[in-house]
A = this chain, B = another copy of it.
Amino acid sequence: MRTYQYERRLHWSECDPAGIVFFPNYTRWMVEGLNEMFLSLGIDPNAQQEDGGRGGLPVVQLAMKFFEAPTLHSIVRHEILVEKIGGKSLAFTHRFWCGQTLLVEASETRVWAVHAPGGKPAMQAIAVPESVRGLLNANAEGP
Q: Interface residues, chain A, CB within 8 Å of chain B? A: 9, 11-13, 15-20, 22-25, 27-28, 31-32, 35-36, 39, 44, 46, 48-49, 51-54, 56, 58-66, 69, 71-73, 115, 117-119, 121, 123
Distance of A9 Cα from B36 Cα, bound (Å): 9
Which residues of chain B have C-beta atoms less than 8 A from A28's C-beta?
13, 24
Which of B27, B36, B65 interacts with A61 by CB under 8 Å? B65
Distance of A94 Cα from B49 Cα, bound (Å): 34
Nearest 7 pairs of A and B residues by beta carbon: A48-B119, A52-B118, A24-B27, A17-B19, A19-B121, A18-B115, A24-B28
Distance of A11 Cα from B119 Cα, bound (Å): 17
6 A-B pairs with C-beta separation under 8 A: A12-B46, A17-B17, A18-B56, A18-B123, A61-B64, A117-B119
